[in-house]
A and B are shown apart, each in its own frame.
Chain A
Amino acid sequence: MIENIFSLTNLKLLGRGAAMTLLLASVGVTAGAIFGTVLAVVRTYPARAFRLMTPLVWLYVEIFRRTPLLILILLTYFGLALAKVEVSNVVVAIVAISITSIAYMCENVRAGIESLPRAQWDAGFALGMHGWQTLFYIILPQALRLAIPPSIGFMQSLIKDTSMATIIGIVELTHAGVILRYRFPLGSFYIFGAVMIAYFLICYPLSWAGDFAERRLRRE
């Protein structure tokens, strides 16, 4: 039975599923890194105009860090349909994953910015730098470096969370397993065991990268 389950066509299905998982996760992380940094800057930038937006960013982060991704995917799916926006399911999943990803990455970057002493800002101003110059040349280079290890950890959990895109019918790794299970109900254990190993092979090397980044940081 095992040879039948893991025939070439079925392995291709699993491979395509893994590719979709990686696509969802990488787009989610990229969106999170870009917009999360923007939100983190909005939340921490010491100017009065931004201080008004701080509670909004706080609310966004608090709400979406306390929402299960599964519910968010379903809400996006039906919300976009209600707004008469016709997009493919993959886009729906990417939107939902990005929304959570932005919230989490915002927290990572904010922690990085806030762990820097305030004197860093003052030093920039004392050198006659403009606020934005201080941000780009002094604060962000240090803060983003500090945010790398937690972000790698988050990337791992995001890869695992893409499994929830199964619910709107996207064929990623977990759903490929579910499809195979329809064909071989008795081989469920081997199928999901294989899916589990595939996730492990994707996620585990990232923790080496995380350890490496952390060691580099500590040496500095």
Chain B
Amino acid sequence: MQLYFRVILRNLPEFIRGASLTLYICTLAMLGGFIIGVLGALGRRSRRRLVWFLSTAYVNLFRNTPLLVQAYLFYFGLPSFGINLTSIQAGLLALTVNNGGYMTEIVRGGMNAIHRNEVDAALALGMSTRQMLQYVVIPHVFRLVYPPMVNQFVLLILGSSVLALIGMEELTFKARMIEAYTFRAFEVYLSTMLMYVILTVITTGILRIIGWRALRGEKSYLSAVVGKLFGRFGR
């Protein structure tokens, strides 16, 4: 039994191209998922029965079915309604919608952890609703939600490997392609596995550093960012 890892080195550019698509898709899905998550969490806490029911049904449906089936549904199923998606579009759609379900639960968990008294205290200090959200509620929710979001990002990177099956040219797809023309299956998949490990270690490292920097001086840094965002839109 001889292993030739030279094949990997020769095809490294392809691997890197695949890995960068993986990261790109996952970043987009994370951003989309965060927006869906905030809306979904508000929906799940809503007092209107219809809004509550729709958001709960969405979350439960997409959290209890495999990403692969969702991708197949969007890629093969939607054309019968005249919606033709490329594999990247279908994959991104499936990943975002799937991630949105998980993010809803994460954000909802963060919102539920906010005690009513915290809001009351802020209002009693004479803060306006905007100030209350900006200085008290959002920094606190963000601090609670950030660590599980980093975990979710890792799961997203791992989950996105499934999208190779609908032909999206990310890391797993590239690995299968290189395996197909080099016949060095074991070496290729072993290195792909290591690449995923490295990819997730690096991204969690970077996200933790960002989080650590953002959360350390939560009073100054984070509320300054939130303030800038809200200040611009608020006035």
Q: Which A residues lie at the B interface, using CB under 8 A?
A: 62-63, 66-72, 74-75, 78-79, 82-83, 156, 160-161, 163-164, 166-167, 174, 177-178, 181, 185-193, 195-196, 199-200, 203-204, 207
The residues of B that contact A193 with a CB separation of less than 8 Å are 73, 77
25 interchain pairs, CB-CB under 8 A: A62-B197, A68-B158, A74-B189, A75-B189, A78-B189, A79-B186, A79-B190, A160-B64, A160-B66, A163-B68, A166-B68, A166-B165, A174-B69, A188-B77, A189-B80, A191-B77, A192-B77, A199-B64, A199-B66, A199-B69, A200-B64, A200-B65, A204-B64, A207-B60, A207-B64
Residue of B with least CB distance to A186: B80
- Give every chain B residue within 8 A of A160 (Cβ-Cβ): 64-67
Point out the residue from B79, B158, B164 that lies within 8 Å of A66, measured CB to CB: B158
Question: Do residues A67 and B165 form an inter-chain contact, with CB atoms below 8 A?
Answer: no
Residue of B nearest to A72 (CB): B193
A157, closest chain B residue (CB):
B155
B113 within 8 A of A: no
Interface members, chain B 170-206 (any A CB < 8 Å): 172, 175-176, 185-186, 189-190, 192-193, 196-197, 200-201
The interface on chain B, measured as residues whose beta carbon lies within 8 A of the other chain's beta carbons, has a size of 38
Looking at chain A's contact residues, the main secondary structure is: helix
Starting from the known contacts A62-B197, A71-B196, A188-B72, 12 additional A-B residue pairs (CB-CB under 8 Å) come to: A63-B197, A71-B161, A71-B189, A79-B186, A79-B189, A166-B68, A178-B72, A189-B81, A192-B69, A192-B73, A196-B69, A200-B60
B154 at the interface (CB under 8 A from A): yes
Binding site for A on B (CB under 8 A): 1, 60-61, 64-70, 72-73, 76-81, 154, 158-159, 161-162, 164-165, 172, 175-176, 185-186, 189-190, 192-193, 196-197, 200-201
B190 vs chain A, min Cβ distance (A): 6
Q: Which residue among B1, B66, B175, B176 has the maximum number of chain A CB atoms within 10 Å of its CB?
A: B66
Q: Please, how many angstroms separate the alpha-carbon atoms of A188 and B76 in the complex?
A: 6
Min CB–CB distance A86 → chain B (angstroms): 15
CA distance A30 to B196 in the complex (A): 26
Contacts of B66 in A (CB 8 A): 160-161, 163, 174, 199
Which residue of A62, A70, A74 contacts B162 across the interface (Cβ within 8 Å)? A70
Measured CB to CB, the nearest residue on chain B to A78 is B185
Q: How far is the CA of A62 from the CA of B194 in the complex (A)?
A: 11
**Contacts of A166 on B, CB cut-off 8 Å?**
68, 165
Closest-CB distance, A18 to chain B (whole angstroms): 13
**Distance between Cα atoms of A71 and B179 in the complex (Å):** 12
7 shortest interchain CB distances as A-B pairs: A189-B77, A68-B161, A78-B185, A188-B76, A203-B64, A163-B66, A160-B66
Cα-based distance from A204 to B154 in the complex (angstroms):
24
Q: In the assembly, what is the distance between CA of A186 and CA of B79, in Å?
A: 9
Task: Indicate which residue in B65, B79, B196 contacts A67 across the interface (CB closer than 8 Å).
Answer: B196
